[in-house]
Amino acid sequence: MLRFAVGSLAVCHVDHGSRSVMTDLPERVVASEFPAGLSADSTDTDRVAAKSEQKASHNKSLKASFLSSLFVSTLSIFETHPESHSGEKKPTKSRSYGWTTAVKKVVTGGSMRRLQELLGASSTDALSSTSEIWLLGKCYKLSTEEASGGTDHGNGSAAFLEDFSSRIWITYRKGFDAIGDSKFTSDVRWGCMIRSSQMLVAQALLFHHLGRSWRKPSQKVSWMFSMDPQKFFSKWRKRTPHDSKYIEILHLFGDSETCAFSIHNLLEAGKAYGLAAREWVGPYAMCRTWETITRAKREQADLDKGKERLPMVVYVVSGDEDGERGGAPVVCIDVAARLCSDFSKGQISWAPMLLLVPLVLGLEKVNPRYIPLLWETFMFPQSLGILGGKPGASTYIVGVQDDKALYLDPHEVQLAVDIKRDNLDADTSSYHCSTVRNLPLDLIDPSLAIGFYCRDKDDFEDFCSRASKLEGKSNGAPLFTVAQTNQSAKSIQHQEALVDGLGGAGNSGMDDTFSDCGAHSGDEEWQIL
């Protein structure tokens, strides 16, 4: 029996086909915790790895190539080769046929790809080593050179990858219980917006319960060969028990009606906003759905103390007094205070808060003037990233570097798993990804939603201060504004400032988008993907 150990190394492969819209996306079925593929949508040609990193990456690639060749060549030992003489009869299957078939499945399937990825090159190869990366309020620089204040110097690339791969990754699943009265047991090709929103809310829960500095435990992986065809290529993980809060968070997003924030329950809660199986929805409808489901879960918890609820206020920041369209969204401090009071039934003056800011920043493309503002929101300590992504294919954008958006992709198809809330030894590998995908910021869909998490009142006040400073840099066209009261919010003549700021170039800008919103009675314009 041959046994060898493999360290937990990150990897990526270049996938140049990720620009296609959702209807063209293939069903990339993966059995691994590290899906292959790095979207190289950007035309950035920086070959930026430091020489030491290049050498390490080269060595890893050589190791992966050697072991891959070893396993493939091993197959020949067990193959049944026909004799060359002319009188040969039809060959029969040898006793080793089942074992050989198992080997082939491993070599051509997900297990071998997982091994190759574990041994492969760093997934930061397509990123610049000279530019800062902002990942949900934290700054990294991949090179070993000294960076500006606030930059994490802890082993640059490795520290960034550890942080990135610790974010909860939620994807298409198949094989779960049927949704409602339908026969759907998978959300492939239509559930990406829902999955992206689950990722954003999951990060808020991670920050709330475990803090921004939490990282998933590193695991040493051992691979073991067995002569049993059913267990030829199996793995053992030497791990410490997971944090109970972490497991509880994953349980909340399981694919079952018994899990509070499952796709099943989100579809039920979002019926009023157009959510339905096989239907696509936009960021605005998704934000309102989260507002609805958290309110419903809180009411259920009030009646039954055993019911799960979101331990924070959900504040969907909207535009005019009706909250649905027109002008820049306004963070109203008085509204936030009232929501906190309602959440705690007047017992405390403030509560943790999840702010969701749905936006439409153009018609077919984001107006370029908003890109620097979007970029800067990732510098906020309260940042939860952006719900949106590519036209027709929602993603969860968690970071930025130069002109690139770094994101987690929900379009991988994985089998449904059941994470029990009391199973601290559960295999959670399918909820994490070390593949850093990117796309140009100017190609993201103009319909999006920004998320922020404020732990307490001081954190909220810091957020408001940063938002006000960001508004001052907007030249009259802010992403959103901050006001003390509803009355002061109504007095903001944002629409006129927008037209003046754009110099009349409204046909391709945000002003026409919002005027269209005001001219229609429905919500369809908010639900553009």
Catalytic residues: 192, 409, 411
Place of tokens 């063209």: 24
Q: Distance (Å, rounded) from C-alpha 162 to C-alpha 165?
A: 5
Integer angstrom CA distances of residue 35 from 16, 107, 267, 448, 478: 15, 16, 27, 25, 37
Q: Which H or E run contains 202?
A: helix 192-210
Nearest to 402 by CA among 32, 24, 44: 44
Q: CA dihedral defined by 339, 343, 346, 351, rounded to 10 degrees?
A: -80
In the sheet that holds 3-6, the strands lie side by side as 3-6, 220-225, 233-238
Which token pair is 260? 């509070």
Place of tokens 């929103």: 197
Q: Where are the beta strands (DSSP E) in 392-440?
A: 393-401, 404-408, 412-415, 437-440
Q: CA dihedral defined by 209, 210, 213, 216, rounded to 10 degrees?
A: -130
Please, are residues 318 and 489 in contact by the beta-carbon 8 Å criterion? no
Please, are residues 361 and 367 in contact by the beta-carbon 8 Å criterion? yes
Which token pair is 70? 């070893």
Q: Which amino acid is at 417?
A: V
Q: CA dihedral defined by 299, 300, 301, 306, rounded to 10 degrees?
A: 180
Please, are residues 405 and 136 in contact by the beta-carbon 8 Å criterion? no
Backbone angles phi, psi at 457, to 5 degrees: -65, -40
